[in-house]
């Protein structure tokens, strides 16, 4: 058994998340974590909501609430949505905790001590009429990169590039339209070029990464520039240096703080577990060969996980060009693998909440089952290329594959056994066909498991569904309903079919945990088969306001192995596990999607 960190991208808390978000970071990381636990690894799956930065401040200003109030609202919405999807976080927390502030400041100080954070004088904007600092978010102008005429001082929403207000063409104040004056101001920069060599060595040693992620990351090393890690903003983690800590107008930049969340959440989890040092098992080198750390995100976030976060870890550990000593948390491990997914589009268009090209997780779960979405994401999600979500395809996958394939196998084999025997019948002598099906199911543990380990979930679930198809074919070929005059043979066929159902259920458990629990119970099983997360209201460990976390005990539940079904175990007639959807949902959903239609 080894220690496996599943570090999942932090959703930004400026609104509810849509299914595009959870198809990139949420479901794939949960499938991986569930499988690794079933296979006997000690998994720590952490994340939380990312709550600082300009967009939250801007939206709070617009709504007349504080940024904290806005973050509180969407933190709760996101926690509830991820809970609804059954995502098995050991800890899903947030970046506004006392613990997170302390860990971010510890990393800043460690990097600063080792010489990797340097002050630099840059040009900052002030309002000529008031003489006060004009925060980046209140400056707009034309993007120097793409020409978009309403780019913000810190970022262009059109091309997505990070900007500096001084780069804008025709900059103007969003408050009163005046042209800001630029004066010298001091900020801190992360000396990224000092990590180019160490990053190159590390990237060269990576194995098994998706080739596009590795290529993209290597290319980034050719043009590393010092990167500002503080900003003119009031909402964020204070700068932990003498003379800066008390300043109200400068904060640590949101990307610097959010990426440290993986570490701070691990530490928070350990503090809550009663062993405050327990996090080290997932973060410190272990001579025995572990631990491993997998980072899950969408492709727009690769740079933060393959360049910036490793740089922070190297710098804090004293392993960049400037050397240095590890800080108080000790030497910290770099990612084993950066697992990035591509984008999901919606009916051929980019998700956009302002243009109503969207379906939020909550709305989805009000109308459909979590496993129906999890199935779609696993079998047709944006694993290695951009993928389109269409309601017609969702309907087809649900009705033809989940309901008519897997649901039908479960339903007809259990009903027939319940009706004719009232229990799992014993098996008599096995034929070559019986043995072949049992062998196919057993062999799939190896193939499906190794595909999930390699982050090829689409192939993995296709392989599991292939076994479902074989079992359905076996039932049709054997036709046990025609064996009324040979109950012993009918019993054997149904025994073999129920064994295949049990095996397919285990193979599908990482993907479809809600229905896996139901199938387990239909087979007469008791206890927890697929553990679920719960929402717990907790106190901030360092005196801040209370908040909800997602957590759970995942130590029980099925193992990744074939368990013989027990002859004589009572069976009740099954209730359908999946819901067949009416084709009219396609038009209903399309009408919702685009009210102009």
Q: Which residues are annotated as a binding site for Zn(2+)?
A: 143, 146, 156, 159
What burial class does residue 307 get, using C-beta atoms within 10 Å of its C-beta: 0-12 exposed, 13-18 middle, 19+ buried?
A: buried
Closer of 172 and 592 to Zn ion (Cβ): 172
Q: How many residues bind Zn ion (CB under 5 A)?
A: 7
- Span 123-152, contacts to Zn ion by CB under 5 A: 143, 145-146, 148
C-alpha 314/C-alpha 410 separation (Å) is 51
C-alpha 468/C-alpha 462 separation (Å) is 10
Distance of closest approach, residue 409 Cβ to Zn ion, in angstroms: 52
Closer of 149 and 539 to Zn ion (Cβ): 149
What distance lies between CA 401 and its chain's CA centroid? 25
Any contact of residue 159 with Zn ion (CB under 5 A)?
Answer: yes
Binding mask 217-236 for Zn ion (x = CB under 5 A): --------------------
Binding-site annotation, residues: 143, 146, 156, 159, 353
Site for Zn ion (CB under 5 A): which residue of 158, 185, 408, 415? 158
Closer of 146 and 488 to Zn ion (Cβ): 146
Closer of 5 and 143 to Zn ion (Cβ): 143
Selected range binding Zn ion among 155-163, 164-172, 183-191, 196-204, rule: CB under 5 A? 155-163
C-alpha 47/C-alpha 8 separation (Å) is 5
Any contact of residue 312 with Zn ion (CB under 5 A)?
Answer: no
Binding-site annotation, residues for ATP: 353
Distance of closest approach, residue 228 Cβ to Zn ion, in angstroms: 18
Any contact of residue 169 with Zn ion (CB under 5 A)?
Answer: no
Distance of closest approach, residue 156 Cβ to Zn ion, in angstroms: 3
Closer of 46 and 156 to Zn ion (Cβ): 156
Phi, psi of 507 (to 5 degrees): -65, -30
Distance of closest approach, residue 155 Cβ to Zn ion, in angstroms: 9
Site for Zn ion (CB under 5 A): which residue of 156, 267, 372, 444? 156
Phi, psi of 226 (to 5 degrees): -55, 140
Map 513-562 to HEC letters.
Answer: HHHHHHHHHHCCCCCCCCCCCEEEEECCCCCCCCEEEEECCCCCCCCCCC
What burial class does residue 583 get, using C-beta atoms within 10 Å of its C-beta: 0-12 exposed, 13-18 middle, 19+ buried?
A: exposed
Under DSSP, the state recorded for 132 is S
Any contact of residue 164 with Zn ion (CB under 5 A)?
Answer: no
Distance of closest approach, residue 223 Cβ to Zn ion, in angstroms: 18
Closer of 158 and 179 to Zn ion (Cβ): 158
Distance of closest approach, residue 159 Cβ to Zn ion, in angstroms: 3
Omega within 30 of 0 (cis) for the link into 291? yes
Supply 534's token pair: 């719960």
Closest alpha carbon to 210 in 36, 454, 29, 463: 454
- Span 521-580, contacts to Zn ion by CB under 5 A: none
Supply 217's token pair: 């990351």
Q: H helices within 221-292, ranges in order? A: 254-259, 261-273, 280-283
Closer of 34 and 137 to Zn ion (Cβ): 137
What burial class does residue 136 get, using C-beta atoms within 10 Å of its C-beta: 0-12 exposed, 13-18 middle, 19+ buried?
A: buried
Distance of closest approach, residue 58 Cβ to Zn ion, in angstroms: 17
Q: Catalog residues that contact Zn ion under the rule CB under 5 A.
A: 143, 145-146, 148, 156, 158-159
């Amino acid at each position: 058994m080894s220690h496996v960190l599943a570090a999942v991208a932090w959703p930004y808390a400026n609104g509810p998340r849509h299914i595009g978000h959870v198809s990139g970071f949420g479901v794939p990381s949960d499938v991986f974590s569930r499988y690794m636990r079933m296979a006997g690894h000690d998994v720590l799956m952490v994340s939380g909501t990312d709550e600082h930065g300009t967009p939250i401040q801007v939206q709070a200003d617009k709504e007349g609430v504080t940024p904290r109030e806005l973050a509180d609202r969407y933190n709760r919405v996101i926690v509830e949505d991820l809970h609804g999807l059954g995502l098995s976080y050991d800890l899903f927390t947030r970046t506004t905790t006392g613990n997170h502030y302390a860990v971010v400041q510890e990393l800043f100080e460690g990097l600063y001590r080792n010489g990797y954070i340097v002050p630099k004088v840059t040009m900052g904007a002030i309002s000529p009429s008031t003489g006060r600092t004009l925060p980046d978010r209140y400056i707009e102008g034309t993007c120097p990169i793409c020409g978009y005429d309403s780019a913000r001082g810190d970022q262009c929403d059109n091309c997505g590039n990070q900007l500096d207000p001084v780069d804008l063409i025709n900059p103007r104040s969003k408050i009163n339209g005046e042209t800001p004056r630029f004066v010298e101001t001091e900020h801190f920069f992360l000396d990224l070029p000092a990590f180019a060599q160490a990053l190159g060595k590390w990237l060269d040693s990576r194995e098994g990464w998706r080739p596009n992620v590795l290529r993209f990351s290597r290319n980034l090393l050719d043009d590393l520039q010092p990167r500002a890690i503080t900003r003119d903003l009031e909402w964020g983690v204070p700068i932990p240096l003498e003379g800066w800590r008390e300043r109200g107008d400068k904060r640590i930049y949101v990307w610097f703080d959010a990426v440290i969340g993986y570490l701070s959440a691990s530490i928070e989890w350990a503090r809550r577990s009663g062993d405050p040092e327990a996090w080290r098992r997932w973060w410190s080198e272990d001579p025995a060969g572990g631990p491993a750390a997998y980072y899950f995100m969408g492709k727009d976030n690769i740079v933060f996980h393959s360049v910036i976060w490793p740089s922070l870890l190297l710098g804090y550990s004293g392993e960049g060009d400037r050397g240095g000593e590890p800080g108080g948390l000790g030497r910290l491990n770099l990612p084993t693998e950066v697992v990035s997914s591509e984008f999901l589009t919606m009916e051929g268009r980019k998700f956009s909440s302002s243009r109503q090209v969207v379906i939020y997780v909550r709305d989805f779960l009000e109308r459909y089952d979590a496993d129906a979405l999890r199935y779609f994401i696993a079998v047709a999600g944006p694993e290695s290329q951009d993928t389109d979500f269409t309601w017609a395809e969702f309907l087809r996958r649900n009705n033809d594959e989940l309901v008519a394939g897997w649901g039908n196998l479960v339903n007809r084999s259990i009903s027939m056994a319940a009706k004719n025997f009232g229990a799992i019948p014993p098996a008599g002598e096995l034929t070559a066909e019986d043995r072949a099906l049992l062998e196919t199911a057993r062999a799939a543990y190896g193939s499906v498991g190794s595909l999930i380990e390699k982050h090829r979930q689409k192939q993995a679930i296709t392989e599991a569904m292939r076994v479902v198809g074989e079992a359905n074919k076996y039932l049709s070929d054997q036709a046990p309903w025609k064996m009324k005059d040979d109950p012993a043979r009918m019993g054997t066929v149904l025994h073999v079919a129920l064994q295949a159902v049990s095996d397919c259920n285990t193979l599908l458990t990482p993907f479809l945990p809600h229905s896996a629990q139901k199938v387990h119970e239909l087979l007469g099983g008791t206890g927890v088969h697929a553990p679920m997360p719960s929402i717990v209201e907790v106190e901030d460990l360092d005196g801040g306001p209370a908040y909800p976390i997602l957590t759970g005990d995942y130590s029980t539940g099925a193992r990744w192995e074939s368990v013989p079904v027990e002859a004589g175990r009572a069976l009740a007639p099954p209730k359908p596990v999946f819901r067949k959807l009416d084709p009219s949902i396609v038009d209903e959903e399309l009408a919702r999607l685009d009210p102009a239609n």
